[in-house]
Structure 1
Amino acid sequence: MRPATKGDVEAILRIEVVSGRAAGSVGSAEGYRRAIADPRRCVVVAETTEADRRFVIGWAKTHHHVEAVDPAPPGHYLGGITVDPSWRRRGVAAALTDARLQWIAARAATALYVVNVQNRASIDLHRRWGFTEVLRAPRLMGVEFDGGVGLLMRADLAGHV
């Protein structure tokens, strides 16, 4: 795990494409560069070495919202996370999540994230850090959810750093 650099943007875009993200949902290179440069956000990558070559196998980010949006409160939110499909189920998502939570814990007492109620894999992953449901809504942080219901999840980060 390491902080992302602007040099990682092409690898991030590649991971989004091989993960089957629809063209409209894949972020722009410039958007990723802005997120990486923003000191109020954490963007991390997971990388591995193969044949003496290092390459990115996953990435994740945070968002810092200073105002409430929809019914969701301000705070530090876990944002997108994507792992190359050939590296899934090996602990990469957990390591990326832990790195972001450590970053948030150095700045806030709680972490938040929003998720589709149908995304059991994400909900189960986040329970290991004590995330619990705060509320359900059809729209959270500007996101409308497939199936119509999203969850706002919250974790206390005391002792996480």
Structure 2
Amino acid sequence: MTDHEDSLVRCVSVPAPPDAAWRTFVDRFADWWPRAYSFSQDALETIGIEAVPGGRCFERDRDGRVLAWGTVVTAEAPHRLVFLWQITADRRIEPDTARASEVAVRFEAAGSGTQIILTHRAFSRHGGDGRADRDGMASDQGWTYGLRCFADAAGGPGGGGARSRA
């Protein structure tokens, strides 16, 4: 994969300052992440991000089962969050962090609001699934949809809309 094929960038603007946008993205993750995009689906109790280096991106179902699907690398509130995406294209959890892609989220002040720039990179670490994983996350049902849900929670409607950059 070339560098261009190995990453994607999605942006969305919300009418909230960076600290409020950060809190919505991280502290209120369960309020905006699509339930259908969880492993637990209808049995989901909560889903969240522990915003400390080494923290988990996780979900817990109503039976108390916890699944960790990512690992936080960097958490610099309210400016930057980086976590490993340990989910394969066929929706399995990848326990080997060396085989995980990486999601970097920047929160940049823009007037009275915030622009969120999400870069998902290193899909090639997933091995043979890398291209399929990138294609899925680059689709309208991938990060574009996820960030639209986030923007709605952060001050909606659509918070200015999710825009793509190659």
Q: Which has the higher contact order (CA 8 A, sep 6+)?
A: 2
Q: Normalising by structure 1, report the TM-score.
A: 0.36
